[in-house]
Chains A and B, each alone.
Chain A
Amino acid sequence: MNSLLILTLLAAGEAPSVKEVLTKYDAVMAPAQFKAVATMVAHRDDGTTRTYTMTILKASDDKSRIWFQEPAAVRGQEMLRNGENFWVYMPNLKRALRLASRDNFQGGDFNNADMLRANYAADYDGTVSEDEKKPYTWLVQLKAKSPDTAYDSIKLWVTKAPLGLPVRGEYFTSSGKMLRSADFAEVKEFSHGHKRPSHITMRNEIATQRFSELKWEEIDVSVTPADGKFALSELGH
């Protein structure tokens, strides 16, 4: 209780601008460039799970690529984002297909844009305010600038100190219906001092028995990926 009070007092002050918060959030959740290994566990309605292991490579704000290693049924699949464009390479088709940013990611509860397009400072605008129920956080209410984003509106709670570490997110349609909610936990320091939540639980608010966990195992922010890695013609090679 005492520590919460101290944290609250330390963090008290004028609300930062939404741009400042989102720039910090992006730096935490999607650094300009990185290579990472992550595992997603999708929990189904009946209690069964599906586990996906992947390597993620990101360069600049609009280029990302994912390689799937497990399970065997999707081994060799790849996903690519270049600007507003998303593709999935299907090894059984031996070709890439275009995807919509809001399509489900591997049938789980994240969508493609959650995984490949975390660039909130560019994609959203909104307001920052206090939340009496979570005094150590800022409540950031966001509206999408374009229909290509993952969600039409978002409520995001981020820590005041350090600024920008997400604690919870709620994601809505344009009609105000909540589609998903996320809890961000287990803040961990990865290589080169990069600190971020390593465990995200994304709950499906439509099919409420379903949720997906994303665990970040390794993140290396020191990589400098070659531009050629993000060419469509590279997929499958």
Chain B
Amino acid sequence: MLPLVCLVVLGDSSLVTTSGYVDSRTTAAQTLLNGAPGLTELAEANLQVKVKPLEQLTAFADVSLFWQGAWFVHGGERDQPEYRPSVVLSEAYLDAPLQDGFRLVLGKKRIVWGAGLAFNPTDVLNPPKDPTDPTFQRAGAWLAQAEWGFDKAALSLVLAGKATRQYAGLPTGLVWYPARPSAEAVRGWVPDDRDNEAHFAFAGRLYVLIADTDVNLLYSFTNLYNDAFADKSRLGLSLSHVFGSLELHTEASFYTGSARLEAEGHRVTRPFLGAEWLNARVVIGGRYQFNDSALFSFEYYFNGEGHSKPAFERLATLARANPTALLQAIAGSADPGTPQKFSFEPLRRHYAVLQYSKPQIFDDFTVSVAALVSLEDLSMQLVPQVTWAPKEWLQLTVAVYVPLSGVTAWGVRIGEATYGEFTLSATGTRTLVQARVFF
């Protein structure tokens, strides 16, 4: 449908809006575990096309071609499937505003309602994002949305299906797994992950602007969608208000049980999926802009899915022994959507995200520092970054990802060594050099 619409209107440039970028991300990393590459290149060509053939119909697509390479692999060069070239269809949807105040959307789209910046606990629809750079995640979910929008209120209903199989960015299985196993499973390269369940999510959102505050009330029902929960209802609340130059927000999700992984000997299980105790994930934070345009943002994240120290120690011990198996278990059903420059699965309960950026320190140089801190051992991922926009169409970035181990006494003991949550990964300090050309 989408290519057909594009072809019909291609001759009329007034109906077509295009934008995009070409991007190169080169990362050099200190490797700590076997299989971790010391040098990676992620090149992306992104194209966003908006076509408006009719007053009441818009078609939009956001597609990226990725070329990836990995070298200097710890423990010896080997094939790295996650670094193969790929096509990512981040968004592709039809948007039909059928009446003033009512629209239907059909296709793949990213819909985010909550006010959180680094974390969105109420978001059950989208792939997880990089908390140190929320702008990086563009991929959405396959869905149908009906929305009634008014001056100070909106009601949205969304039904989303999980892409159970996809190739070159396009799904070959949606909601249900295909009848046949994948070629990789037939050859025994990966386990056959099929089941007979419907993998879907329903989400409803009521937005109201009350006393100059954005208020979102959310309800969702998911079945084996982006996590291991089956038939799970959640309630959500999000608030955002501006006091002078300070924006404050909160976003919370409430539900029963937990999908957390528990290590038992050499295997992992999810023992609390059917539990009936109340659980929550909550973000409280804000942004403040100074007179010189510098911006400071802060968020506290309570992760009800997090582990106690002994449970985390068991999981971390298993992770050091078999990181690949554990990563597969953690990733489970959540496809990140795009190659991640920093992926993070919060395994503890209390986190803080702090970010400070000062633009135009000289010409168009922006200096920023982000810190993602585990408050239970004070280990952190520190990300100092310099961005320079020498031209309106060119942006250059150098960022360093520094994992710090925090307070030794609060870390977890594995063998003879003590680790913080952020020093358990397969790589140590990483340096990222990025160049992005907009068109």
Contact = CB atoms under 8 A, between A and B. Distances in A.
B345 interface: no
Nearest to A73: B438
B135 A92 contact: yes
A231 B149 contact: yes
A1 interface: no
Interface string A92-103: 111101111011
Given A83-B212, A95-B112, A232-B154, A104 B293 contact: yes
A82 B111 CA distance: 22
Nearest to A237: B95
B112 A72 contact: no
Interface in B351-400: 359-360, 362-364, 389, 392-393, 395
Contacts of B147: 233
B103 A237 contact: yes
Given A82-B151, A82-B209, A44 B438 contact: no
Contacts of A147: 244
Nearest to B100: A228
A90 B41 CA distance: 27
A230 interface: yes
Interface string B97-119: 10011010000011111010000
Contact of B151 (A50, A51, A206, A231): A231
A69 B364 CA distance: 20
B293 A82 contact: no
Q: Interface size for chain A: under 10, 10 to 19, 20 to 34, or 35 or more residues? A: 35 or more
A82 B135 contact: no
Given A44-B360, A98-B214, A233-B147, A72 B138 contact: no
Of A71, A93, A107, most B-chain CB atoms within 10 Å? A93
A19 to B, nearest CB: 26
Given A85-B212, A100-B244, A228-B149, A71 B207 contact: no
A155 interface: no
B149 A94 contact: no
Nearest to B105: A237
A73 B438 CA distance: 6
Contact of B393 (A71, A228, A234): A71
A95 to B, nearest CB: 4
What size tier do the contact residues of chain B reach? 35 or more
A94 B111 contact: yes
B252 to A, nearest CB: 18
A75 interface: yes
Contacts of B91: 94
B19 interface: yes
A50 B392 contact: yes
Given A44-B363, A103-B245, A233 B149 contact: yes
A48 interface: yes
Contact of A231 (B110, B135, B150, B392): B150
A231 B19 contact: no
Contacts of A98: 115, 214, 240-242, 247, 249
B207 A75 contact: no
B131 interface: no
B101 A231 contact: yes
B68 to A, nearest CB: 21
B214 to A, nearest CB: 7
Interface in A34-64: 44-46, 48, 50-51
B58 interface: yes
A231 B111 contact: no
Nearest to A228: B100
B156 interface: yes
Interface in B64-92: 91
B291 interface: yes
A233 B135 contact: no
B122 to A, nearest CB: 12
Contact of B293 (A50, A107, A232): A107
Contacts of B101: 228, 231
A103 B289 contact: yes
B135 A93 contact: yes
Nearest to A173: B291
Interface string A177-202: 00000000000000000000000000
B246 interface: yes
B392 A72 contact: yes
A76 B18 CA distance: 10
B438 A71 contact: yes
A226 B149 CA distance: 12
Interface string A63-88: 00000000111011000001111100
Interface of B: 17, 19, 21, 48, 58, 91, 95, 97, 100-101, 103, 109-113, 115, 134-135, 138, 140, 147, 149-152, 154, 156, 207, 209, 212, 214, 240-242, 244-247, 249, 287, 289, 291-293, 359-360, 362-364, 389, 392-393, 395, 438-439
20 contacts: A45-B362, A48-B363, A71-B438, A73-B392, A73-B393, A75-B19, A76-B48, A94-B110, A94-B111, A98-B242, A100-B242, A102-B245, A206-B292, A228-B149, A232-B149, A232-B207, A234-B149, A237-B58, A237-B97, A237-B103
Interface of A: 44-46, 48, 50-51, 71-73, 75-76, 82-86, 90-95, 97-100, 102-104, 107, 147, 206, 226-228, 230-234, 237
Top 3 A-B pairs ranked by shortest CB distance? Answer: A233-B149, A72-B438, A71-B392
